[in-house]
Amino acid sequence: MLFKVSAKSRVNQLAGAIVWSMRQEGQAELQPIGAKAVNQALKAVAVAGSLMTAQEVRLVCTPSFVKHQLDGESVTGLALHVGTLPLEAAL
């Protein structure tokens, strides 16, 4: 599931959405817009990772660049792809 993240995104709410997406689809993608949004997104992944340890999995986050159209211009943004690894494989 794709989540757009802003500087004002609530970390705990976003973390809950990531956990839900991981349980339903096994993956999530976050697209933060701006430096503060990247901070919020990474904090949410960390909180979601803590919540997922009960399922004996560890979240992994892989960044990549994506192109966005913003006011008719093509800009490069960041995407964070979130997946899982078995807890013993991640150690």
Domain spans, the chain: 2-90
pLDDT attached to residue 90: 55
- Which CATH number, 3.30.110.20, 3.50.50.60, 3.30.60.50, 3.40.50.300, labels domain 2-90? 3.30.110.20
pLDDT attached to residue 1: 92
Segment 79-89, tens digit of pLDDT: 999 999 887 76
Segment 12-56, tens digit of pLDDT: 999 999 999 999 999 999 999 889 999 999 999 999 999 998 888
CB 1 within 8 A of CB 51: no
- Please compute the mean of the pLDDT values over residues 59-79 and round it to a whole number: 90
pTM of the model: 0.87
User: How far is the C-alpha of 43 from the C-alpha of 49, rounded, in Å?
Assistant: 10
pLDDT attached to residue 34: 87
CA 9 vs CA 5, 26, 68, 86, 87: distances in Å: 6, 22, 19, 29, 28
Query: Dihedral of CA 51/57/14/25: which sign?
Result: negative
User: How far is the C-alpha of 40 from the C-alpha of 16, rounded, in Å?
Assistant: 13
